[in-house]
Amino acid sequence: MSFKQGAESIKEKISVGFLYHTNKTRLKLEPLTGEIGFERSIKDKNIHRPGLALAGYVQLFRYDRVQVCGNTEMRYLSQIDPKHREEMLRTIFKFKVPCLIITNNNEVDELFIQIAREQGVAIFKTPFETTKLVYFLSDFLDDQFAPQTAIHGSFVDVYGIGLLLVGRSGIGKSEIALDLVERGHRLVADDIVMVTRKGEGILMGSGTDLVKHFMEIRGLGLIDVRSMFGIRAIRFQKRVEVVVELMDWDANADYTRTGLDEEGISILDVQVLGIKLPIFPGKNVTVICEVIALNYLLKHYGYDAAKEFAKRLEAVISEKSKQIGERRVDYFEHDFE
């Protein structure tokens, strides 16, 4: 199964200013050096603790990462000889460090800030303890540097299952999404679905900031699903679990008849369930989409209808070989209702 996927893109860098402005409240960041160094870029999603570099070992100093100084670093600095300390600070700030965050509201003296200023490095202070800060900051940086792709399709949460409808332009993806919304399901995005790989093997889909919950219906133009159907009809993001490819009915194509031969589809190197759905006039695709979601849920809870049926069939066949003259239904109870 294959459909057109947009180019994969990964953000190459973010600026320190962007990091500060998007996280100042969440991470309680307090800038100690004004806006100095806000133009520097962060290119790595990992975080570095410069303990060893401050102790003088700079050979493997990952200066290009966001630096986090916790209690260890700050206490070490406060107890060494002042002259040595100044030398150490000058050494590490000579590297092109993107920025430095001091945790636990540790005291920072004038000299520290002055050296950072001279070298153009932004310094922030936060009341969070190091583990907590690293946890939140990693989450943010992971998200910023996650591989992303734009997929042409409609994305709906159907009974809690993220259903991504794809297919050629004009096949009716938006109309099906609208129909699903009418039946109480929730629209995530229409037309442009931004898919991001989170962690290992998880795909998250959402709309773009500009388009969020607007959709185009051919013949009508643009509509806003959120103001039309209300807050219950939308959601901002959802894990992508099933891809439904709508295709024009083709008598020669090979469609699954039992559901035993499941096909996967790869998006950003993550495998999800893919279903080829031929459509033709009179076919209620909306109901089929609901059934796809319900069937996926059943399988998730351990019941696979196709396998269950196959098992029954095998049982009947093996039973039959022992008997002579059988009927295909059990004996009717005597009520003839």
Partner 1 sequence: MIEQEVIIKNRAGMHTRPAAVLVKTAAKFKSDFYIYKDGMEINGKSIIGVMTLAAEQGSKLILRFDGADEQDAANEVIDLFSRGFDE
* Residues 102, 108: Cα–Cα separation, whole Å: 8
85, 191, 238, 276: which one is catalytic? 191
173, 197, 238, 276: which one is catalytic? 173
Q: Does 169 bind partner 1 (CB under 8 A)?
A: yes
Transcribe 120-156 into DSSP letters.
T-EEEE-SS-HHHHHHHHHHHHHHHTS-EEEEEEEEE
Evaluate whether 69 touches 106 at the Cβ level (below 8 Å). yes
81, 254, 257, 327: which one is catalytic? 257
SS3 for 91?
helix
Q: Does 191 bind partner 1 (CB under 8 A)?
A: yes
Say whether 21 is catalytic.
Answer: no
Q: 224 is written with which tokens?
A: 């806003």
- Is the C-alpha dihedral spanning 61, 63, 27, 210 positive or negative? negative
Q: Does 59 bind partner 1 (CB under 8 A)?
A: no
φ, ψ for residue 95, nearest 5 deg: -70, 155
Say whether 334 is catalytic.
Answer: no
**Nearer residue to partner 1 within complex by CB, 128 or 229:** 229
Q: Does 302 bind partner 1 (CB under 8 A)?
A: no
**Nearer residue to partner 1 within complex by CB, 52 or 217:** 217
Q: Does 219 bind partner 1 (CB under 8 A)?
A: no
Say whether 320 is catalytic.
Answer: no
Q: Does 278 bind partner 1 (CB under 8 A)?
A: no
Residue 122's CB: how many other CB atoms inside 10 A?
A: 26
Binding residue for partner 1, selected from 1, 9, 305, 319, defined by CB under 8 A: 9
Q: Does 150 bind partner 1 (CB under 8 A)?
A: yes
Task: Give burial (CB, 10 Å; 0-12/13-18/19+) of 41.
Answer: middle
Match 């239904």 to its residue by tokens. 329
**Nearer residue to partner 1 within complex by CB, 62 or 152:** 152
Q: Does 247 bind partner 1 (CB under 8 A)?
A: no
Least spacing, CB of residue 5 vs partner 1, in Å: 9
Say whether 327 is catalytic.
Answer: no
Residue 303's CB: how many other CB atoms inside 10 A?
A: 11
φ, ψ for residue 177, nearest 5 deg: -60, -40
Stretch touching partner 1 by CB under 8 A, among 6-14, 43-51, 98-106, 239-247: 6-14
Residue 189's CB: how many other CB atoms inside 10 A?
A: 29
> Binders of partner 1 among 88-147, rule CB under 8 A?
none
* Residues 187, 177: Cα–Cα separation, whole Å: 7
Binding residue for partner 1, selected from 105, 208, 227, 258, defined by CB under 8 A: 208
Q: Does 170 bind partner 1 (CB under 8 A)?
A: yes
- Chain residues binding partner 1 by CB under 8 A are 4, 6-7, 9, 150, 152, 169-170, 190-192, 208, 210-211, 214-216, 222
Residues with active-site annotation:
152, 173, 191, 257
